[in-house]
């Protein structure tokens, strides 16, 4: 990857997200942002039920900015599309 390109990784805090991050790092790909969606009511990541505060703590420990988006089942698609627009504004193509 050209270092002028920024990289974002969808991050749920689960083993697969950590594995994807590990593989990126091992292949010299710099991850600039972690991105996660979480339930607006429970404040837990949809896929694993992990509290968003724990995901933020993981991102802080990794030193990678976290872009997190509260959502509902009805608004998920719209929020996901907004996250892509936000990433584009941050320079991720």
pLDDT in tens, 13-67: 999 999 999 999 999 999 999 999 999 999 999 878 999 999 999 999 999 999 9
Distances in Å between the alpha carbon of 81 and those of 35, 49, 76, 86? Answer: 12, 22, 9, 9
- What pLDDT digit, counting tens, does each position of 55-71 carry? 999 999 999 999 999 99
Phi/psi region, residue 5 (left: phi>0; alpha: psi -120 to 50; beta: rest), is beta
In the three-class reduction of DSSP (H, G, I as helix; E, B as strand; rest coil), residue 82 is classed as helix
The model's pTM: 0.90
pLDDT of residue 47: 78
H or E segment and range at residue 22: helix 15-26
DSSP letter assigned to residue 14? S
**Which CATH superfamily, name and number, covers 8-89?**
HUPs (3.40.50.620)
CB 52 within 8 A of CB 68: yes
Q: Where are the domains of the chain?
A: 8-89
Polymer length in residues for the chain: 93
């Amino acid at each position: 990857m050209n270092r002028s390109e920024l990289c974002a990784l969808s991050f749920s805090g689960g083993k697969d997200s950590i594995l994807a991050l590990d593989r990126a790092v091992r292949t010299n790909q710099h991850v600039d942002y972690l991105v996660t969606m979480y339930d607006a009511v429970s404040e837990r990541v949809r896929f694993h039920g992990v509290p968003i505060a724990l995901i933020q703590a993981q991102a802080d420990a990794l030193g990678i900015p976290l872009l997190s988006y509260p959502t509902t089942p009805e608004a998920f698609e719209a929020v996901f599309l907004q996250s892509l627009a936000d990433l584009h504004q941050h320079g991720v193509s």
